[in-house]
């Protein structure tokens, strides 16, 4: 049986402007920028540190996050980031945090949709958003209540439309992951895993593949 060896080359390293937070989904990469460039996104406390690397070796950095004062800095702590490439070819940047979640253009400069959670709850009941996935032209975001928010994102502009909440978890969402072109898997802190078939159309098409107890 013939073995085929693969040869890998090492590109130059890219120095990030910040250190990474210890959270799931703390690193994202966006390919397909102009002139073969890449963008690296790193979750670092309450900001997403984005570094742009061009094919010519030029490096540029910037930080994006939720605006606010020093008093509410803990609520702006990020729980994840993801560049979502929609079926329409549009790319949006999604940030999740203890304050809520935000959908913006790919570089984070123009906000298309923002969901800020209500404040005033106790420290042990703090809400948060966590888990991001893309299916078709919708973005799915998980929450601490166990719900998954489904939002339709248009090819251009800021007319992001709330579609529905997918309900099936009784514990905070830990992660979302697209399985196929029309399926999303979700997990929660209790260990439950649910696969949602075509969440764009129906919230009822789901099956549990791991249920604790």
* Domain ranges for the chain: 27-116+126-210
**What are the tokens at 162?**
């709330």
Q: Which of 73, 69, 68 is nearest to 44 (CA)?
A: 73
Residue 124 confidence class, pLDDT cut points 50, 70, 90:
very low
Q: Calculate mean pLDDT across residues 9-33.
A: 76
**Stretch 115-129: mean pLDDT:** 71
Residues 142, 131: contact at Cβ < 8 Å? yes
Does the pLDDT at position 147 exceed 70? yes
Q: Which CATH entry fits the domain spanning 27-116+126-210: 2.102.10.10, 3.40.605.10, 3.40.50.1700, 2.130.10.10?
A: 2.130.10.10
Per-residue pLDDT band for 4 (boundaries 50, 70, 90) equals: low
Token pair belonging to 54:
């061009």
Among all chains, which residue has been given the structure tokens 């099956």? 207
CA nearest to 46, candidates 27, 24, 18: 18
The pLDDT of residue 141 is 97
Q: What is the mean pLDDT of residues 125-145?
A: 91
- pTM of the prediction? 0.85
Tell which wins on pLDDT, 120 or 130.
Answer: 130
Query: Residue 92: what are its φ and ψ, rounded to 5°?
Result: -125, 155
**Which residues are paired to 197 by β-bridges?**
183
Map tokens 């949709």 to a residue. 113
Say how far apart CA 50 and CA 108 lie, in whole Å: 9
* Mean pLDDT of all residues in 124-128: 70
Asked if 148 and 166 count as a contact pair (C-beta separation under 8 A), the reply is yes
pLDDT tier at 90, thresholds 50, 70, 90: very high
**What local confidence, expressed as pLDDT, does residue 54 receive?**
81
Q: Identify the residue with better confidence: 67 or 89.
A: 89
Least confident of 44-48, 70-74, 164-168: 70-74
Q: Is 90 exceeded by the pLDDT of residue 212?
A: no
Are 22 and 80 in contact by the 8 Å Cβ rule? The answer is no
pLDDT digits (tens, 9 = 90+) for 22-69: 788 888 999 887 777 889 999 988 889 998 888 777 788 888 888 765
Q: What is the rounded average pLDDT for all residues in the chain?
A: 84
Beta bridge partners of 178: 184
Q: For the chain, what is the radius of gyration of the CA atoms?
A: 18
| pLDDT value of position 37 | 84
> pLDDT tens, 197-206?
876 655 567 7
């Amino acid at each position: 049986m013939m073995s085929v060896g693969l040869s890998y080359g090492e590109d130059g390293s890219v120095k990030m402007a910040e250190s990474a937070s210890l959270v799931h989904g703390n690193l994202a990469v966006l390919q397909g920028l102009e002139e073969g460039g890449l963008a690296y996104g790193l979750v670092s406390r309450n900001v997403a540190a984005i570094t742009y690397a061009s094919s010519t070796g030029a490096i540029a950095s910037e930080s994006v996050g939720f605006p606010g004062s020093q008093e509410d800095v803990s609520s702006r702590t990020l729980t994840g980031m993801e560049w979502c490439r929609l079926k329409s070819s549009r790319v949006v940047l999604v940030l999740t945090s203890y304050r809520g979640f935000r959908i913006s253009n790919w570089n984070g400069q123009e906000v298309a949709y923002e969901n800020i959670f209500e404040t005033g709850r106790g420290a042990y009941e703090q809400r948060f958003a966590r888990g991001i996935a893309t299916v078709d032209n919708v973005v799915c975001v998980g929450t601490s209540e166990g719900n998954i928010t489904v939002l339709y994102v248009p090819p251009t502009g800021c007319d992001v439309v709330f579609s529905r909440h997918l309900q099936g978890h009784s514990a905070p969402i830990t992660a979302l992951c697209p399985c196929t072109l029309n399926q999303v898997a979700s997990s929660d802190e209790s260990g439950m895993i649910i696969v949602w078939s075509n969440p764009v159309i129906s919230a009822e098409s789901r099956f549990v593949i791991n249920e604790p107890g």
